[in-house]
Structure 1
Amino acid sequence: MCRSFSFFSLPLVISFLLIISSVSTNRNASENHPDKNLFPSDMNPLELETLFKIMKSVSSDKNWRSSHPNPCNPGSSWLGIECKTGIDNHFHVTRLDFGTPPNPTCKNTATFPSEIFELPNLESIFIFQCFAHTQTAISFPKNKISISSLQQLSLRENSALIGSIPPQISSLKSLQILTLSQNMLTGLIPVELFSLNSLLHLDLSYNRLTGTIPVQISNLRSLLGLDLKLLVLQKLDFSSNSLTGSIPDSFQLLNSLIFLALSNNKLHGRFPRGLTGLQNLQYFIMDDNPMFIPLPLEFGHLRKLQELRLANSGYSGTIPPIYSQLTNLSALSLQNNRLTGKISTAFGNLSHIYHLNLSRNFLGGVVPFNSSFLKRLGRNLDLSSNPGLCLSPSEAFGVNVGIDVCGSNKTASSIRPLKNSESPFQCPKPIILTSFWVFLALHHILFSV
Structure 2
Amino acid sequence: MASFSSLLLLLLLNVLMAFKTGEGGEMSSMEDDELSGLFEVMGSLLDDPTWAQVHPQPCTDTPWPGVQCELMVQEDGDGQQDYNPTIFHVTKIHIGTDILTPPCKPTATLSQRGLTKLPYLKTLSLFNCFTLSPFSLTSSLFENSSLSALEHLALVSNPSLHGSIPSSLGYIQSLRVLSLSQNKLTGEIPQQICGLVNLQQLDLSYNQITGSIPQEIGGLKSLTIFDLSYNMLEGQLPSSLGQLQSLQKIDLGFNDITGRVPQEVGNLTKLVLFDLSHNSLSGPLPESLFGLKQLEYLVIQDNPINTGMPLFIGSLGRLKVLSFSRCGLMGPMLSSLSSLKNLTALSLESNSLNGTVPSDLGSLPNLEQLNLSQNQLSGQMLVSEEFINRIGMRLDIRENNGLCIKNITSTDVKSSSCISARSRTGGNKSSWDEGGECGRMNSTLFQSNRCPRIHHGYGFWLDVVCLLMLFLLCFV
- Normalising by the smaller structure, the TM-score range is 0.7 to 0.9
**Alignment of 1:406 onto 2:404:** no
Q: Which residue of 1 aligns with 2:285?
A: 271
> Are positions 1:71 and 2:58 aligned together?
yes
Contiguous gaps of at least 5 residues in structure 1? 1-29, 224-230, 411-423
- Which segment is superposed worse, 280-289 or 263-272? 263-272
Aligned to 2:48: 61
Specify whether residues 158 and 262 from structure 1 end up closer, same or farther in structure 2 by C-alpha distance, changes over 3 A only.
farther
Distance change (3 Å), C-alpha of 1:93 and 1:320: same
Q: Distance in 1 between matches of 2:132 and 2:458?
A: 83
Tell me the distance in 2 between the aligned counterparts of 1:303 and 1:60.
53
TM-score, with structure 2 as normaliser: 0.71
Structure-2 separation of matches of 1:353 and 1:432? 44
Displacement, 1:350?
A: 1.8
Q: Aligned letter for 1:69? A: P
Tell me what 1:82 maps to.
68
Q: Does 1:428 align with 2:428?
A: no
**Which residue of structure 2 lines up, in the alignment, with residue 134 of structure 1?**
133
Quick check: 1:96 aligned with 2:96? no
Are the counterparts in 2 of residues 276 and 301 from structure 1 also a CA contact under 8 Å? yes
Cross-structure match for 2:79:
none
* CA–CA separation in structure 1 for the residues paired with 2:222 and 2:280: 28
Partner of 2:156: 156
Using the TM superposition, give the Cα deviation of residue 281 of structure 1 relative to its aligned residue in structure 2, in angstroms.
1.1
- Which consecutive unaligned segments of at least 5 residues does structure 2 have? 1-12, 74-83, 224-244, 439-452, 466-476
Match of 2:108 in 1: 110
Partner of 1:442: 458
Task: Give the secondary structure class of the aligned counterpart of 1:348.
Answer: helix
Deviation at 1:253, TM superposition (A): 2.9
Listed one character per residue, the Cα deviations across residues 309-342 of structure 1 (whole Å, up to 9, x for unaligned) are 2333444444333333222111112223444443
Q: CA deviation at 1:282?
A: 1.0
Moved more, 125-134 or 316-325: 316-325
RMSD: 3.6
Residue 189 of structure 1: SS of its match in structure 2?
Answer: coil
Q: 1:318 to 1:54 in 2, by over 3 A?
A: farther
Q: Separation in 1 of the partners of 2:259 and 2:145?
A: 35
Query: Residues 253 and 53 (structure 1 numbering): CA distance in 2 closer, same or farther, change over 3 Å?
Result: farther
8 Å contact from structure 1 (residues 263, 285) kept in 2? yes
- Residues 1:107 and 1:429: Cα distance change in structure 2 (over 3 Å): closer
Match for residue 370 of structure 1? 383
Q: Is the 8 A contact 1:268 1:291 kept in 2?
A: yes
Counterpart position of 1:44: 31
Alpha-carbon distance change, 392 to 77 in structure 1, aligned in 2, over 3 angstroms: closer
Q: Match of 1:394, as an amino acid? A: N
Could you tell me whether the CA contact under 8 Å between 2:381 and 2:406 is conserved in 1?
no
Contact 2:119 2:149 in 1 (8 A): yes
Aligned to 1:208: 208
| DSSP 3-state at the match of 1:209 | coil
| 110-119 vs 321-330, greater mean Cα deviation | 110-119
- Look up the SS of the partner of 2:360 in the other structure: helix
Asked if the contact 1:61/1:104 (under 8 Å) is kept, the reply is: no
Is contact 2:157–2:183 with CA below 8 Å preserved after alignment? Answer: yes
- Whether contact under 8 Å (1:281, 1:304) holds in the other structure is yes
For the residue of structure 1 that corresponds to 2:382, the secondary structure is coil
Distance 1:182 1:310, change over 3 A: farther
What is the deviation of 1:426?
A: 6.8
Say which SS state the counterpart of residue 86 (structure 1) adopts.
strand
Shift in Å, 1:296: 2.4
Asked if 2 retains the 8 angstrom alpha-carbon contact of 1:207 and 1:241, the reply is no
How far does residue 61 in structure 1 lie from its aligned partner after superposition? 3.2
Q: Distance in 1 between matches of 2:288 and 2:406?
A: 44
Q: CA separation in 2, counterparts of 1:209 and 1:318?
A: 39
Change (3 A) 1:70 1:190: same
Change in Cα spacing, 1:130 to 1:304, as seen in structure 2 (3 Å) is: same
SS of residue paired to 1:368: strand
| Alpha-carbon distance between aligned partners in 2 of 1:93 and 1:166, rounded to the nearest angstrom | 24
**Whole-Å separation in 1 of the counterparts to 2:383 and 2:127:** 49
In structure 2, C-alpha distance between the alignment counterparts of 1:272 and 1:168, rounded to whole Å: 36
| Identity over aligned pairs, percent | 34
Aligned-partner Cα distance in 1 for 2:455–2:55: 100
**How far has the Cα of 1:440 moved from its partner?**
6.2
SS at match of 2:30: coil
Give the AA of the match of 1:42.
S
Report how far residue 68 of structure 1 moved.
1.9
User: Does residue 355 of structure 1 match 2:369?
Assistant: yes
TM-score normalised to the size of structure 1? 0.75
Match for 2:407: what amino acid? S
**Aligned partners of 1:299, 1:116: CA distance in 2, in Å?**
50
Distance 2:382 2:145 in 1: 62
- 2:380 corresponds to 1:394: no
